[in-house]
Amino acid sequence: MWVSVVFFAGGVWLLQQQAQLPAMTLACSLATAGALILLRGEHAAMRVSRWVLTCALCLGAGFFWAAAAAHWRMSDALPAEWEGRDVILIGTVASLPQVYERSVRFEFDVETVLTEGAHVPRRVVLAWWGSSAREGAPPTLADVRAGERWQLAARFRRPRGTANPHGFDYEAWLLEREIRATGYVRGKGANRRLAGMVHRPGYWVEAARGALRQRIQRALPDGPYAGVVVALGIGDQRAIAQDQWQVFTRTGVNHLMSISGLHVTMLSGLAFVLAYWLWRRSARLTLWLPAQKAAALCGVAAAFAYTLLAGFAVPAQRTLYMLVVAAVFLWCGITGSVSTILAAALLVVLVLDPWAVLAPGFWLSFSAVAVILYVTVGRIGDSHWLKSWLHVQWAVTVGLVPLLLALFQQVSIISPLANAVAIPVVSLIVVPLTLAGMLLPFDLVLGAAHLVMAGCGSLLEWMSAVPAAVWQQRAPPAWSMPVAVGGVAWLLLPRGFPARWLGVVCLLPLFLAPRSELAEGDFKLTVLDVGQGLAVVAQTRHHALLYDTGPAFGPGADSGNRIVVPFLRASGIARLDTMIVSHDDVDHTGGALSVLQALPVARLLTSLPDMDPLSLMAEQAFRCFAEQHWEWDGVQFEMLHPPRASYAETGLKDNDRSCVIKITAKGGAALLPADIERRGETALLRGHGDALRVPVLIAPHQGSKTSSMARFVDRVNPDVVIFPVGYRNRFGHPHEEVVDRYRAIGSRIYRTDRDGAITLDFSAAAVIRVEPYRATYRRYWQTPLVGDPVPDPEEL
């Protein structure tokens, strides 16, 4: 069975790699394959043919099942003509609202669209903006609760996220959760609550989760780990502070800090054991229904209830499905191996959620279970429970190394020790205390849960501070993954098997495979897609520079920790030789603090004030000014702006004091002017003249009307101009007049909202290769710009 399920899973995965959905008429080929399988014959060739056709049938079944689900879900879309237009609708708050500093965000089930001619998908995400807290006054935010019916005026846009190598695919995440549009509530008189509660089971659960969250927050108003208690109680992971997430990630215990599969399984097992013990005490109940079957029902019921508390989150769902399959096998008296039960659970997960293969948690959870089965089932000999438990911990740690490096480019070295402490403390003490505290009318139990969690957290913080706590490296090459998996399987063979050390040899390519080095005099420029803002990575043979760090997204979330640092890590950049923060605008400085905290930065160049916190954090911080220059690996870096004397001009705008750098090599040059406006452009024209002629230009100020004067555009005369802009940004960048100026001189236009991250390779052969990320990573769920397709990679 498991072979068929693996091929079915392969078909599901293959569909999720497609740029376009296939026509469902192709599914008729499956019927032909199915008919061929029915051919009888005992000849060896016939048996092999049947096996091959069976595998092909399972692969095709997975592929077309996922395609049918995708066709159905993609059909509920927001028409492009209704983007950015006011729509009045009626619906119900369908999720636990998330409160931020200036907004409340929630999922909304649309019931009726009142605006004539408008169509809005069945489920959307809305942000309701208010005002931030001021001195003596709390923030003014909308009072929204799960299960309420509202009439709202809102504006929507189709699903769209940033697109970067090794980055998070927000559009795929929305698709898996059946969210087909995002938007914000308009501050108009049409907004009003119509009903305090819509009586449906799903809304009852969300309302109960909201009440429990308030219960915990009231009991632990100032508790530093109150967010962790909330996450363990109702699965609200956003309640955990970002700095705590960093500690949990570095120590490898982040899987414990929510309603995880481990906790669901633990609670289900506890319910099973308790029900089995009690049921056997009654002869009448045992005669009516065997104790094992009754206990299985109780175990599944407990798992289901806890999964509902998690908001029916996808990771908890997967564990629930596994437990249900095991209970069905037990209830029906089906004798099957543990691997058969795991395969059946995998099949159920993929049938119900074909997009699960896109989630790292899917691969990690099933791989962890597979490793545990591999090192326990069928092994002979008895050993002490502690020794067995340590062996399993070791096996899971080693077994997940290839996946962790491929998915996150890091492995927690201290994870086995941290998990040895955190698993029993969190799972056996904190979680039971949290669940009991939510049900009991007094706060003492919740206080005890927080006290234990705080002690555990302090120990984890100490472990996280160990310098070698985490191994980080670039993304391993694809070919090394199957070699590493084979090496893990060989390494974890039973003790006494000869030459198990060869498994370590198979793991070495993960760490030692050489990366494609740039030649002397070549450089690579990557304009990251950070939304409305700028972040550019320049790499030479042995050096790396980061120019600006993109915007901040919210408390604890910014383009530094979400986009820039993952890209640097996956690219094998463990240290920045120079970071330039061009000027004091949040769309350029928003991720700087996260970058400085994540990796060493040898030098910071900036136009920020001397006592700015970013300057104080850097090892060495200097003002940028014209005439600064240096050479790395045959590539010249020259600061063209601002003049040193400009720092004495009190009336000069920050934009016009932006650090402007030119990067020059034999193969071409690029100009990075940040947000300079007309005054800054005039100064550049006056001071540098013909030196501004470059083949590649990052458009000043994201294509604002205040920049890219006709004289400046004509003097630079770029072959390629790149606009780093956010999708449907509120500034209207890039302005059409500005784009037309560049088109008039024959420049090729690239923009990050359409193309994603843009990589430019400058070679000594005077060839510049331009590669938009969305051209190489095309997926059927991506939302294109209307009438503006992503260009293919090209060479200039």
pLDDT, residue 785, reads 84
Confidence band of 534 (pLDDT split at 50, 70, 90) = very high
Burial of 440 (0-12, 13-18, 19+ CB in 10 A): exposed
Q: What is the 3-state secondary structure (H, E, C) of 38-77?
A: CCCCCCHHHHHHHHHHHHHHHHHHHHHHHHHHHHHHHCCC
What is the per-residue pLDDT across 447-461, written as a single tens digit (0 to 9) for each?
A: 999 999 999 999 999
More confident residue, 429 or 30: 429
Give the CA angle between residues 241, 97, 566 to the nearest 5°.
40
pLDDT of 188 higher than 80: no
Structure tokens at 33: 């394959």
Q: Which of 85-94, 131-140, 538-547 has the lowest mean pLDDT?
A: 131-140
Q: Which of 53-62, 172-181, 334-343, 558-567 has the lowest mean pLDDT?
A: 334-343
- Of 510, 516, 508, 548, the C-alpha closest to 532 is 548
More confident residue, 161 or 372: 161
Looking up tokens 């399920």 gives: 5
Highest mean pLDDT among 123-137, 367-381, 383-397, 583-597: 583-597
Q: Once rounded to an integer, what is the mean pLDDT over residues 371-376?
A: 78
pLDDT, residue 581, reads 96
Helix (H) or strand (E) holding 105: strand 103-113
pLDDT, residue 380, reads 60
d(C-alpha 183, C-alpha 8), whole Å: 36
pLDDT of 9 higher than 90: yes
d(C-alpha 594, C-alpha 565), whole Å: 8
pLDDT, residue 336, reads 63
Strand partners, 758: 527, 772
Cβ(720)–Cβ(694) under 8 Å? no
DSSP secondary structure, 680-708, as one string: HHHHHHHHHGGGG--SEEEPGGGG-TTS-
* Alpha helix ranges (H) inside 550-591: 559, 565-570, 586-589
pLDDT of 38 higher than 80: no
pTM: 0.89
pLDDT, residue 575, reads 92
Q: What is the largest CA-CA distance in the chain?
A: 98
Confidence band of 309 (pLDDT split at 50, 70, 90) = confident
3-state secondary structure of 217: helix
Burial of 43 (0-12, 13-18, 19+ CB in 10 A): exposed
Strand partners, 184: 127, 155
Q: Which residues contact 109 (CB under 8 A, 6 or more apart)?
A: 91, 92, 94, 122, 123
Label residues 560-585 b or e (16+ Cβ within 10 Å = b).
bbbbbbbbbbbbebeebbbbbbbbbb
pLDDT, residue 362, reads 84
pLDDT, residue 39, reads 54
More confident residue, 386 or 761: 761
**Cα torsion angle, 502, 506, 511, 514, sign:** positive
pLDDT, residue 784, reads 85
| Single-letter residue type at 314 | V
pLDDT, residue 715, reads 95
3-state secondary structure of 284: helix
DSSP conformational letter for 423: I
pLDDT, residue 94, reads 94
Phi, psi of 536 (to 5 degrees): -130, 135
Q: Once rounded to an integer, what is the mean pLDDT over residues 322-338?
A: 78
pLDDT of 50 higher than 70: yes
Question: Can you state the percent helix, strand and coil of the chain, rounding each to 5?
Answer: 50, 15, 35
Looking up tokens 């659960």 gives: 205
Cβ(306)–Cβ(261) under 8 Å? no
Measured distance between the N- and C-terminal CA atoms of the chain, rounded to whole angstroms:
53
pLDDT, residue 78, reads 95
pLDDT of 37 higher than 60: no
d(C-alpha 148, C-alpha 88), whole Å: 16
What is the per-residue pLDDT across 251-305, written as a single tens digit (0 to 9) for each?
A: 888 878 776 666 788 788 888 889 989 988 888 888 888 888 898 899 899 889 8
d(C-alpha 176, C-alpha 123), whole Å: 12
Burial of 728 (0-12, 13-18, 19+ CB in 10 A): middle
What is the per-residue pLDDT across 647-698, written as a single tens digit (0 to 9) for each?
A: 988 888 999 999 999 999 988 999 999 999 999 999 999 988 888 999 999 9
Strand-pair category, 544-547 with 578-581 = parallel
d(C-alpha 71, C-alpha 726), whole Å: 28
Strands (E), 603-642: 604-606, 621-623, 629-632, 635-641
pLDDT of 88 higher than 80: yes
pLDDT, residue 133, reads 59
**Cα torsion angle, 479, 485, 488, 492, sign:** negative
d(C-alpha 65, C-alpha 69), whole Å: 6
Confidence band of 381 (pLDDT split at 50, 70, 90) = low
Residues in the chain: 796
Helix (H) or strand (E) holding 89: strand 87-93
What is the per-residue pLDDT across 545-597, written as a single tens digit (0 to 9) for each?
A: 999 999 998 777 899 999 999 999 999 898 999 999 999 999 999 999 999 98
pLDDT of 178 higher than 80: yes
pLDDT of 710 higher than 90: yes
pLDDT of 172 higher than 70: yes
Calculate what percentage of the chain has a pLDDT beyond 70: 93
Helix (H) or strand (E) holding 480: helix 480-491
What is the per-residue pLDDT across 592-645, written as a single tens digit (0 to 9) for each?
A: 999 998 899 999 999 998 788 888 888 899 999 998 999 999 999 999 999 999
Going across the sheet that includes 668-672, the strands are 629-632, 635-641, 660-665, 668-672, 696-698, 720-723, 748-751
| Single-letter residue type at 409 | Q
Average pLDDT, the chain: 88
pLDDT, residue 40, reads 55
pLDDT of 25 higher than 70: no
